[in-house]
């Protein structure tokens, strides 16, 4: 009985795993909130030069990059070319 219960919990845990790279722009904006320094960070990411974003899994690196990508893509006057690359399997 215990083994079946553990298997059930493991299956339920895998039913819904949502990551920023797998959802569309509308869902991304709906499911996230704006952080206090987010606009400042997005502005800096939108400027020229290479950027390196580091942090532990799940801290919002991909979410931040996708928000920047969508804002640049929507801005017809943007001089930056947004390129999103994901190396997930």
Give the chain's domain count. 1
Report the alpha-carbon distance of residue 68 to residue 17 in Å, rounded. Answer: 23
Residue 5 lies in a domain: no
CA distances from 4 to 13, 16, 78 (A): 14, 20, 55
Range of the domain at 75: 18-89
* 11-54 per-position pLDDT tens digit: 555 555 667 777 888 888 888 888 899 999 999 998 888 888 88
pTM tops 0.85, yes or no: no
Residue 3 lies in a domain: no
* 52-83 per-position pLDDT tens digit: 888 888 888 888 988 988 888 888 776 777 66
């Amino acid at each position: 009985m215990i083994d079946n219960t553990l298997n059930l919990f493991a299956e339920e845990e895998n039913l819904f795993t949502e990551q920023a790279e797998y959802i569309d722009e509308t869902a991304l904006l709906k499911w996230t909130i704006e952080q206090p320094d987010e606009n400042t960070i997005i502005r800096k990411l939108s400027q020229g030069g290479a950027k390196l974003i580091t942090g532990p899994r799940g801290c919002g690196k991909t979410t931040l990059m996708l928000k920047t990508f969508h804002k640049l893509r929507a801005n017809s006057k943007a001089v930056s070319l947004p390129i999103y690359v994901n190396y997930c399997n």
